[in-house]
């Protein structure tokens, strides 16, 4: 007996876009499109371009499955456009998407809710320039992490070990935006927790063979070891799942998210960020986490659709 799809509405899988994560978005989108097609949904792949409004109207899409990563696809802009058009969509709403993408804003919200974050300072690029004039002076020592305030997939992130690396790292971050975060480097285990709706599905420990879990380590097969479940104490794992759900709710997120943590040598957790539209590729973490909870790739996609259809954003 064939399983009935969650919705008979035509679904548009929005992918691509203009961000630096376009390639990964295309991979996520095509994987989602293929899965929906195999599950019997009425579905159309849509490569997001400047004429997206006309494309959506012409295609008669009634539900948008967002497979966009970074930029206007994840910062609330596309979400706002879909709300104006009256098209329900998967993932978080306008405000939660904007807050999660802005690492400076999300860190402040995490602190307000009592969630631990690495020590950090926010640095703004001098007006009209993309270069730092004077080097900032954080209260913490090297090494530190320098990153753009509004990018994903570790794009533009540098580990700074000495003063001579500071300015190139800042210039790299400012080439991607006007605001940068300088953060204390936490040496220890990196654990990512998957959230679906109102529950934490589980987690994965990532062990990159490179210096850190950067873009290359994330999307090149064989460069990272994935440990499921993480090799950490049960009590620490429970704490991470609890804090991940709190971080998800603190930003007002919806659907499926991935919350990234660092654990220091004493197993103290620090929230790094919440990803409102996590990758859905063959090497992506959320599908791996869902799989460990007994949810297939297709099952995960259907659960995300159920939440979107119910909320009708």
Summarize pLDDT for 27-77 with one digit per residue, the tens: 999 999 999 999 999 999 999 999 999 999 999 999 999 999 988 999 999
Q: Provide the Cα torsion 161, 163, 169, 174; round to 10°.
A: 140
pLDDT at 139 (0 to 100): 85
Q: Is 44 a catalytic residue?
A: no
pLDDT bracket for residue 311 (50, 70, 90): confident
Q: What CATH class is the domain 99-116+187-293?
A: alpha beta
CATH architecture designation of domain 120-184: 2-Layer Sandwich (3.30)
For residue range 272-291, list pLDDT tens digits in order.
999 999 999 867 899 999 99
For the chain, give every domain's residue range. 11-90+302-311, 99-116+187-293, 120-184
- What pLDDT shows up at residue 140? 87
Percent of the chain's residues with pLDDT above 70: 90
Specify the pLDDT at position 237: 98
pTM for the structure as a whole: 0.92
Q: Is the pLDDT of residue 102 over 70?
A: yes
153 is catalytic: yes
pLDDT band at 1 (very low <50, low <70, confident <90, very high): very low
Residues 6+ apart with CB under 8 A from 136: 121, 123, 182
- Res 132: pLDDT: 55
Label residue 4 by pLDDT band (50, 70, 90): confident
Backbone angles phi, psi at 203, to 5 degrees: -155, 170
pLDDT tens, position by position, 197-252: 999 999 999 987 656 565 555 556 667 789 999 999 999 999 999 999 999 999 99
93 is catalytic: no
- Mean pLDDT score, 9-20: 93
Residue 214 annotated in active site: no
Q: Which of 16, 20, 21, 302 is catalytic?
A: 21
- pLDDT of 298 > 90? The answer is yes
Is the pLDDT at 300 greater than 50? The verdict is: yes
Q: Does residue 2 carry a pLDDT above 70?
A: no
Q: Tokens 């602190």 identify what position? A: 111
Kindly provide the residue ranges of all beta strands, DSSP E only, lying in 60-187, ordered along the sequence: 63-66, 120-124, 144-148, 158-160, 179-184
* 119 is known as an active-site residue: no
Q: State the catalytic residue, choosing from 44, 190, 260, 302.
A: 260
Give the position of tokens 């991935």: 258
Q: Given the residues 93, 194, 203, 279, select the one marked as catalytic.
A: 279
Q: Tell me, yes or no, if the two domains 99-116+187-293 and 120-184 fold the same way.
A: no
Q: Annotated catalytic residue: which of 125, 153, 254, 284?
A: 153
Residue 205 is among the residues annotated as catalytic for this protein: no
Count the residues in the chain: 313
From 151, 183, 205, 273, the catalytic residue = 273
pLDDT for the residue 188 = 93
Enumerate the β-bridge partners of residue 261: 191, 271
279 is annotated as an active-site residue: yes
CATH among 3.30.420.10, 3.10.20.90, 3.40.640.10, 3.40.50.20 for 11-90+302-311: 3.40.50.20
pLDDT in tens, 118-138: 999 999 887 655 555 667 888
* Closest listed residue to residue 305, CA positions, set 11, 33, 94, 84: 11
Q: Over the chain, what is the mean pLDDT?
A: 90
Q: Check if 175 is active-site.
A: no
200 contacts 246 by C-beta, under 8 angstroms: no
- Of all residues in the chain, the percent with pLDDT exceeding 90 is 73
């Amino acid at each position: 007996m064939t399983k009935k799809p969650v919705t008979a509405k035509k679904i548009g899988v929005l992918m691509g876009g203009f961000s630096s994560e376009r390639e990964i978005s295309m991979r996520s989108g095509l994987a989602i499109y293929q899965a929906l097609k195999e599950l019997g949904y009425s579905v159309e792949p849509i490569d997001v371009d400047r004429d997206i409004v006309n494309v959506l109207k012409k295609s008669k899409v009634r539900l948008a499955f967002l497979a966009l990563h970074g930029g206007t696809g994840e910062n609330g802009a596309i979400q706002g456009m879909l709300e104006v058009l009256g098209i329900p969509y998967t993932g978080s709403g306008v405000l939660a998407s904007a807050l999660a993408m802005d690492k400076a804003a999300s860190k402040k919200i995490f602190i307000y809710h009592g969630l631990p974050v690495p020590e950090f300072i926010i640095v703004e690029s001098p007006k009209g320039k993309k270069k730092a004039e004077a080097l900032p002076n954080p209260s913490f020592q090297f090494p530190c992490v320098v990153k753009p305030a509004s990018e994903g997939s570790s794009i533009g992130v540098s580990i700074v070990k000495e003063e001579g690396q500071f300015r190139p790292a800042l210039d790299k971050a400012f080439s991607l935006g006007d605001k940068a975060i300088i953060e204390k480097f936490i040496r220890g285990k990196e654990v990512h927790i998957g959230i679906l709706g109102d529950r934490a599905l589980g987690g994965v420990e990532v062990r990159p063979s490179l210096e850190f879990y950067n873009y290359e380590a994330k999307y090149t097969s064989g460069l990272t070891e994935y440990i499921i479940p993480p090799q950490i104490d049960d009590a620490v794992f429970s704490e991470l799942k609890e804090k991940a759900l709190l971080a998800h709710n603190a930003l007002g997120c919806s659907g499926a998210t991935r919350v990234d943590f660092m654990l220091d040598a004493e197993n103290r957790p620090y929230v790094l960020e919440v990803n409102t539209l996590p990758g859905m590729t063959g090497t992506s973490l959320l599908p791996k986490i869902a799989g460990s909870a007994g949810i297939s790739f297709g099952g995960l996609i259907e659960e995300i659709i159920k939440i979107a259809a119910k909320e009708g954003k």
